[in-house]
Chains A and B, each alone.
Chain A
Amino acid sequence: MTMDNVTFVTLAGLDGTEQEHAIIDRGNGEFTSMLKSTYDEMIAAQANFTPTL
């Protein structure tokens, strides 16, 4: 997943609770969105991942 072009936005749920989300622009009008906390965990995990081979 390309990690360029990430926008962080704060959105309110139905109950008004606000949460920060990461919206990744993958180009060609395609996007992936997740909680910023999930995004941060994913980036940290990928940085540590080395294929065995």
Chain B
Amino acid sequence: MTRARDTADAQDNLGGAVAPFVAGKNFQINGGFDIWQRGTTLNAVTHSTYTADQWIAVSDSIGTINITQQNIAAQGLGVNYCMRVEKSAGASNRVVMVSVPEGALSCVGKTVTLSGYLRKGSALTSNVTVDIGTRATRYGTQYDGIVSSTISNASLNSSTFTKFSYSFNVTTTTSTNNANLFELEILYTQAGGANVYLEIAAIQIEVGSAATPFSRAGGTLAGELAACQRYYFRTQTGTGTPYMGVTVAGSSTTTYANVIMKQTMRSTPTAVDFSLLRWQAINNSGNITAASIADATPENVLLNCTTTGATTAAMNYLIGQSAAAYVGFSAEL
């Protein structure tokens, strides 16, 4: 069944226009804050840290920045979750959430609209600033379509969400500079304290001059997870001692672990996050104290793991020491 037919049927059923839940409409992956592979409570994050999938915390300062997922299903925004960006301590400095979704080159010559919702903590007194443009790389120069707009604190509410939207043109400056990334920044500046936070929800970047109802970039939750796992993949069960792959010992102190990516990554992973890993044989095991990428493709990673007590050439399982164990692979932009 086509989208047009779906929409027509739904309009017949409901007697009016319906939200076009279409995969690919929204360039902002995880704009609904459904996917948090690194955890849904991230305390004391530091400069240039990935938080919710696709979202980077940037802080000039330091203080204590806590990023958490909050359930806002009851708000009726068409999303289940938002991201709370809290500054619980520290001097008055910028707290910036950044995302760099791909796709700007496909929008050259078109108008693009950014939209989303904001809600403030009861002690947030700062205005909020929103900026979007294009970049060739995450840390590169920002080009074209730059919109920088201040949303006054007075316009925000601590109980309900306030919608914002901005439209801009993506011009040939973007294509000339091969700037395929949208670069979105949402910022406030305030000293830390209790209830100093901003909540961000339903972020959407779409072609067109008007904001339409939110739709996940991946369409469904499964599609959104797959889209996120193209950039970062973490295997973690949260229960038991999770099985993650197989290892073959190269010596008593080195074992090579193979982990298969669930999704073909954007590029070959270049970094691995890990905690509480071990190898397990039938009657023997050893903790892994270090793991580095020995070889990788976008589908498969071989880890060089430092351990003790392994039997050369023995094949073992790669598992966790506890339910908190994980191994994660980054092909982030």
A residues with a Cβ closer than 8 A to B are 1-2, 9, 11-14, 21, 23, 28-35, 38, 45-46, 48-49, 51-53
Contact = CB atoms under 8 A, between A and B. Distances in A.
B125 interface: no
Contacts of A53: 94, 96, 129, 131, 148, 185, 187
Contacts of B129: 53
B290 A13 contact: no
A33 B294 CA distance: 11
A9 B294 CA distance: 13
Nearest to A20: B292
Nearest to A9: B290
Instruction: Pick from A2, A28, A33 the residue with the most CB of B within 10 Å.
Output: A33
B48 A32 contact: no
B256 interface: yes
B168 interface: no
B139 A34 contact: no
Nearest to B303: A33
Contacts of A28: 275
A30 B234 CA distance: 13
Nearest to B248: A14
Interface string B275-297: 11000000000000011111100
Interface string B170-204: 00000000000001010100000000000000000
A11 B148 contact: no
A52 B272 contact: no
A11 B272 contact: no
B272 A32 contact: yes
26 contacts: A9-B292, A11-B254, A11-B294, A12-B254, A12-B304, A13-B304, A14-B250, A14-B302, A21-B292, A23-B292, A28-B275, A31-B273, A31-B274, A31-B290, A31-B291, A32-B272, A32-B273, A33-B274, A33-B290, A34-B270, A46-B139, A52-B146, A52-B183, A52-B185, A53-B148, A53-B187
B273 A51 contact: no
Contact of A51 (B46, B58, B256, B290): B58
Interface of A is mostly: mixed
A11 B304 contact: yes
Contacts, number: 87
A48 to B, nearest CB: 6
Contact of A23 (B139, B256, B275, B290): B290
Contacts of B142: 52
A51 B295 contact: no
A34 B294 contact: no
Contacts of A23: 290, 292
Given A14-B302, A53-B187, A48 B139 contact: yes
B304 A51 contact: no
Contact of A52 (B131, B256, B293): B131
B101 interface: no
A46 B48 contact: yes
B19 interface: no
A19 B48 CA distance: 26
B133 interface: yes
Contacts of B148: 52-53
